Amino acid sequence: MAILILIIIGIIIVAVLSRIGYKFWQYGRPQHLATSPQPQSADDSAVTLFIPGYAGNRFSFGGMLQRFVTGQFANKSLVVMIDRHNHPHVTGSLDAYRPMVQLVFATPRVPVRQQADGVLAVVKYLIAHEHVQTINLVAHSMGGVVLFQYLTTAARLVNLPEVRKVVTIGAPFNDSEVGQNTYPIEHHPLTASGPTKTTPVYNYFLRTLQRLPNTISYLNIAGNIGDDIQSDGAVALSSALSLRFLLKPAVDQYHEFVVHGKNARHSRLHENFAVDRQIVQFLYPDKSKTIADEK
């Protein structure tokens, strides 16, 4: 009997590991729509880059991108591995219709500025090799801070693609530590004029985000699992939503969406169908098709 139990456990372990291995392979490769229409608008033509958070990998946005392809919303055109020297290694080919690009950092535990330089290297590759003119940026957690670091850097440069739309998911805009999770969760309540206390990253963006063009549209997504301080279990709602004060000059282009419940947990936000739906409707507002509320 004991041997039979061990055999069953072994089979289960092999099955689980096989599934994880298959997902690891699948999430690291491009996936294209079976039939890809011709672009009908600027939204259809823009290239969307997906930036993971601290210690992120192909699992960070792999599931979301697969759902977008399966739902016939967009193409997962490129997977770009950024090595420790910030050189992009590109797999796939860029589609004309709603191309998405998954970024994966070979060394995912590096400072914000270094990752932002990696994003810049990818954008320069897209200009040189794909003649890309317009982009969107989607980022989770620390990736949202990386995203805005890229934007402030890009604002000083010329001949870079126009940024049309920006999506941030559970990003710590007023945390002292924007990478590794720290406890207790940092929480500085918001007043009508801004946070009661500000951190260096918030103050940096308060000085620099005024450089950004006023043509960018923003969607800021945050999670609230219903704990005492209102957080997603890693980032306080007050930290994520402090972005509204940093983007005050662009208030007309700024939108917020808060996810509630157990699936609003930090590591689950990019696996949440409500988040999927918000992103699709924001990036492609003319799309009549929507993603179901529940899996």
Number of domains in the chain: 1
Q: Is residue 107 part of a domain?
A: yes
Q: Flag the least confident range among 102-106, 135-139, 175-179.
A: 175-179
* Three-state SS at 212: coil
Structure token pair of residue 235: 């980032």
Domain residues for the domain of 136 are: 47-281
Q: How far is CA 45 from CA 9, 99, 100, 189, 290, in A?
A: 49, 7, 10, 40, 20
Find, among 102, 105, 106, 75, the residue nearest to 91 by Cα: 102
In a domain, 91, yes or no: yes
pLDDT digit string (tens) for 2-32?
676 666 666 666 555 555 565 555 677 899 9
In this structure, what are the phi and psi dihedrals at residue 88, rounded to the nearest 5 degrees?
-80, 135
Query: Token match 């590759």: residue?
Result: 125
| Two structure tokens written together for 41 | 């608008």
Residue 164, domain member (yes or no): yes
Contacts with 36 (C-beta within 8 Å, 6 or more apart), sequence order? 75, 95, 96, 97
What's the start-to-end Cα distance of the chain, in Å? 38
The CATH number of whichever domain residue 89 belongs to comes to 3.40.50.1820
Tens digits of per-residue pLDDT, 228-249? Answer: 999 999 999 999 999 999 998 7
Asked if residue 127 belongs to a domain, the reply is yes
Instruction: Give the C-alpha separation, 71 to 77, whole Å.
Output: 15
How far apart, in whole angstroms, are the C-alpha atoms of residue 180 and residue 234?
9
22 part of a folded domain: no
Let me know: does 73 contact 284? Beta carbons within 8 Å: yes
Q: Is the pTM of the predicted complex or chain greater than 0.75?
A: yes
187 belongs to a structural domain: yes
Please check whether residue 114 lies inside any domain of the structure: yes
Residue 291 lies in a domain: no
Report pLDDT digits (tens) over 57-66: 988 999 999 9
